[in-house]
Amino acid sequence: MKEYPSIPGSKGQQFREIPNARVFGKLDGSSMRSQWNRTKGWFKHGRRSGLLDDSNPVLLVAPKLFEERLAEPLARIAYAARWQSLVVFYEFWGKESVAGLHADGDPKFLTIFDVAPNDAMLEPDLFRKLFEGKVETAPYLGTRNWTRGLVEQIRLGQLEGLPFEGAVAKAAERRSDVIVRAKAKTQRWIDRVMEIHGPERGRSLIES
């Protein structure tokens, strides 16, 4: 099953300005993925890397929630678009979730943030056109120039509609099927992760 591409952080020498980026809120939870094709339907579910197993029992409820909430509307979209296959990337999260930790009894949500029909990532405008309003999708924060100034606004939590964790920028490069991505985290989220996990593990999560 296709894995989600790594998104570079927007700082230091990694920083890249992205004109007219489509900016989406980043929800704090566990990154999941599910695979469909016309023959088997929804036949495979996994974590960010690897398939589901007993290493994180909390996530084992995700396929059942997916079947209840997303399987049918997503299949309808796939059939209407005449896709042969589809991998859907989504966040498994609750209001009390922090950096992959999920509180017992906290209601869980599934929010789609990207898709790969026929093994190719969908560009952000078409993603919004096909999926927004039909299933739960990552909050859209507008088209903006992704600059150091905007990243600083995100760090300070000053962007309207910004979730607790931060934001992701996406833009399709002209004359290619390459999608450029970048991410930025809020200082509140960074401080919370360091508080929960400590310096070593916290830094690893923040950089991931």
- Is position 93 within any domain? yes
The CATH number given to whatever domain includes residue 51 is 3.30.470.30
**Domain encompassing residue 69:** 18-207
Predicted local distance difference test score (pLDDT) of residue 153? 97
- Is position 36 within any domain? yes
Question: Quick check: 59 and 47 in contact, CB under 8 A?
Answer: yes
Torsional sign, CA 53, 56, 60, 63: negative
Counting every residue written for the chain, the total comes to: 208
- Is position 193 within any domain? yes
Predicted local distance difference test score (pLDDT) of residue 175? 65
Predicted local distance difference test score (pLDDT) of residue 200? 84
pLDDT in tens, 192-204: 999 988 888 888 8
> Bridge-partner residues for 51, per DSSP?
46
- Cβ neighbours of residue 149 closer than 8 Å, sequence gap 6 or more: none
- Cβ neighbours of residue 142 closer than 8 Å, sequence gap 6 or more: 23
- Is position 110 within any domain? yes
- Is position 182 within any domain? yes
State the Cα torsion 90-94-96-98 to the nearest 10°.
Answer: -10
In the numeric block, which tokens belong to residue 148?
Answer: 């150091």
Number of domains in the chain: 1
Predicted local distance difference test score (pLDDT) of residue 176? 64
Rg (CA), the chain: 17
> Bridge-partner residues for 85, per DSSP?
37
- Is position 120 within any domain? yes
In the numeric block, which tokens belong to residue 117?
Answer: 């029909």
- Is position 2 within any domain? no
- Is position 152 within any domain? yes
Annotate 18-54 with b (16+ C-beta within 10 A) or e (fewer).
Answer: beebbbbbbbbbbbbbbbbbeeeebeebbbeeeebee
Q: pLDDT tens track of the chain, all 208 residues?
A: 999 999 988 888 778 999 999 999 999 999 999 999 999 999 999 998 888 887 788 899 999 999 999 999 999 999 999 999 999 999 999 999 988 889 999 999 999 999 999 999 999 999 999 999 999 999 999 999 999 999 999 999 999 999 999 999 999 987 667 899 999 999 999 999 999 888 888 888 887 7
